[in-house]
Structure 1
Amino acid sequence: MDIDTWVWWLIGAVGLGIPLVLTAMPEFGMLAVGAVAGAVTAALGLGIVAQVLVFVVVSVALIAVVRPIAARHRDASPGLSSGVDALKGKHAVVLERVDSNGGRIKLAGEVWSARTLDTGQSFEPGEEVDVVEIDGATAVVM
């Protein structure tokens, strides 16, 4: 029993899809799409040279076009901050006078100990401050 050429191309596409899933390298997916294009070419009755040519052209085109676009999107996506890193840059309200020795603020719905970034600066209750950093369990504000 002979297996048609297009079936071999589909087996190759599945074979290329396995490392795509295991390694999350999108290039394998692009090669798998090229193999599917080769299978379509074989199913249309074109020769092996045309099949290989279609496989190469589709695979290279996908890698050349899609990969840079995906890299741009990956690099442009903002990183999500969590924990104390997410609190940097937030606004807070002074509850108890804050100076370089300490004080209390309300930050993200919670009461935090705080101190000023500048030693000569102080903030009175009700004033808004910006959180510059978190030092242990103390918010450094300005």
Structure 2
Amino acid sequence: MVTTMTDVNILQESHDFSEIILSSDVFNNYIAIKKQVQRNAEAQKMLKHFDGLKEKYEEVQRFGKYHPDFKQITSEVREYKRKLDTYPLIAEYKESEKELENMLNEVSQIIAHAVSTQIKVPTGNAFFDQSSSCGGGCGSGGSCGCG
């Protein structure tokens, strides 16, 4: 394989760009809150409990509504998920995670559209996906009519 100076320049610019993202306030805030969650005993206890509930839920899902504990486990998972999502530190973590995701989605859109406006970037974000003729992430290979 022959490497050209253009390839080297693109790689260097990609590296420089990743360094900019890694030094951003959004990324640093995400990492700081993630570390807080990892060190917080109560948050870790809640997350471990939720993992156990998810395992039970997955087992129940194998049989669906015919499993004798379907309603109880499903309800328990939903209630505990709500409790987990409203725990202040975890809520702050999820918010920082969403902020980082939004930044990365926006960067992906900018890069893709710098190459061609025809490039579909599945962001999972309606704000960004509205700019394309399809949701971007339909995954149907164009059978939805998006090209």
Q: TM-score range by the shorter chain?
A: under 0.3
Greater RCO structure (CA 8 Å; 6+ sep): 2
Larger of the two Rg values belongs to structure: 1
Using structure 2 for the length normalisation, give the TM-score.
0.23
Using structure 1 for the length normalisation, give the TM-score.
0.24
Larger helix percent: 2
